Amino acid sequence: MSPSGPPVPPDLDRPHFIGIGGAGMSGIAKILAQRGARVAGSDAKDSETAQALRALGATVHIGHDAAHLAPDASAVVVSSAIRAQNPELVAARERGLPVVHRSDALAALMEGTVPIAVAGTHGKTTTTSMLAVALGTLGLDPSYAIGGDLDAPGSNAQHGGGGIFVAEADESDRSFHRYAPQVAVVLNVELDHHANYASLEEVYASFEEFVGKVLPGGTLVISSDQSGAVELTSRVRDIGGLRIVTVGEAEGADVRITRINPRGLTSEVSVLLDGRMLTFTVSVPGRHYAHNAVAALAAGIAAGAPARNLASALAKYTGVRRRLQLKGEAAGVQVIDSYAHHPTEMAADLAAIRQATGTGGTDGGPQAGRGRVLVVFQPHLFSRTKELGTEMGGALAAADASLVLDIYPAREDPLPGITSELIVDAARAAGADVTAVHDRDAAVDLVAGMAKPGDLVLTMGAGDVTDLGPLILARLAD
């Protein structure tokens, strides 16, 4: 394609990405390729994302080897998950190549635009996606970088010519401190990422630093309802030149949600803004997604988009992969995939599923007799399980039955004594029907054998549990 807009940043005209298939890394690689850079990289395994990058002209190697680093590479891009002994990183340092963290690469791409950075312990991907889709629907052609695919492989990022850049801002490793947004969004503030944050106070301090990076005259859009966000608002009110816009159901919110009306797998949302009532449709179920949409609305308005048109455009958002994504139906059983891995997210998605589909328990309650919610949950990270395992177990009590897989380690080494049994014990203590399953194939067989017509199976977690959805559907079909 013929690149337009801001030029390729220095040192990134011939970049090599280690872990190019990751959600954050692949988005930056895609934008650079669309701007005309000669992109290369490697990943542990082939994927649809790797194939989408190749279609843009990128060179993608499978496996990690020093030989994959091209002789004329201008820089190596890494994430916090890349270990120091990675052979490509070792080779880059030996050659004296610049090693660029992915957040610095993203910050460089945002220069020369109106940057919008969406932060929060959860909800970032959905809110960023909603705003990107709505701005695109209005013809504003934004650039965006999202931590998940919209509706096709590779759709997590786009180079646009409209001058607005919408980016997901990750607090997990404090990399969101690298951005200087014109509009910052903070959806919520909770303790997570325990390998990097020892206390909630550290989390507050980190978000304060992020808000402090907002450009003079810029806007902070922040929740009026979530307790952590309310506390953060009180801490940043005295930052000079910062305009604060609160959003939520609280009586004094600047953009106040007056009604959320569930309609099957959608919701109708009404908000009061500057004395005017706006009503629009959110095409995904659940109160938390309605709140995400209103935050996206406020952020887009702060960036100059017309309020009423933007509200209508939000209805064009149809979802992100792994965010309550319907994988299919077989033998009268729906299989839905959820990225939820924090207890708050787990509880919110389970509540949304019950409300949207009418599935419920067999305890004689209002949903009794209308099918069950069966969960296959995979804990993500040993550190998170250590600190939040009890709360995860409590969240699973909202399901009719759950299977809990072994912990997905991602970048972490095991911690002594920390296993998925911690979650299982907590769930049983909360009265849940839960079973520990240590073999993935056995989990597929077990949940398919449990499911009956009218039930719903929810695969849940941030690891590779998502791969089980198609296998469960195939087993149900058999």
Binding residues for ATP are 120-126
Residue 456: count other Cβ atoms within 10 Å of its Cβ. Answer: 24
Task: Indicate which residue of 113, 124, 128, 344 is catalytic.
Answer: 124
* Mutual angle of helices 48-55 and 23-34, in 10-degree steps: 10
C-alpha to C-alpha distance for 314 and 311, rounded to whole angstroms: 5
C-alpha to C-alpha distance for 367 and 351, rounded to whole angstroms: 12
List residues bridging with 435 in a β-sheet. 403
Strand, helix or coil for residue 430: coil
Let me know if 168 is a catalytic residue: yes
Task: Indicate which residue of 113, 125, 357, 385 is catalytic.
Answer: 125
C-alpha to C-alpha distance for 267 and 179, rounded to whole angstroms: 33
Q: At a CB cut-off of 8 Å and minimum separation 6, what does 63 contact?
A: 42, 44
Q: Report the binding-site residues.
A: 120-126
Q: How far, in whole angstroms, is CA 448 from its chain's centroid?
A: 28
Q: Look at strands 114-119 and 99-101 and give their pairing.
A: unpaired
Let me know if 30 is a catalytic residue: no
On whether the CB atoms of residues 180 and 215 are closer than 8 A, the answer is yes
C-alpha to C-alpha distance for 282 and 318, rounded to whole angstroms: 8
On whether the CB atoms of residues 34 and 94 are closer than 8 A, the answer is no
Residue type at position 100: V
C-alpha to C-alpha distance for 127 and 147, rounded to whole angstroms: 11
Residue 254: count other Cβ atoms within 10 Å of its Cβ. Answer: 18
Task: Indicate which residue of 88, 127, 168, 357 is catalytic.
Answer: 168
Which H or E run contains 428?
helix 421-429
C-alpha to C-alpha distance for 428 and 332, rounded to whole angstroms: 29
CA-to-CA dists, residue 447 to 251, 404, 433, angstroms: 44, 11, 13
- Active-site positions read 124-125, 168
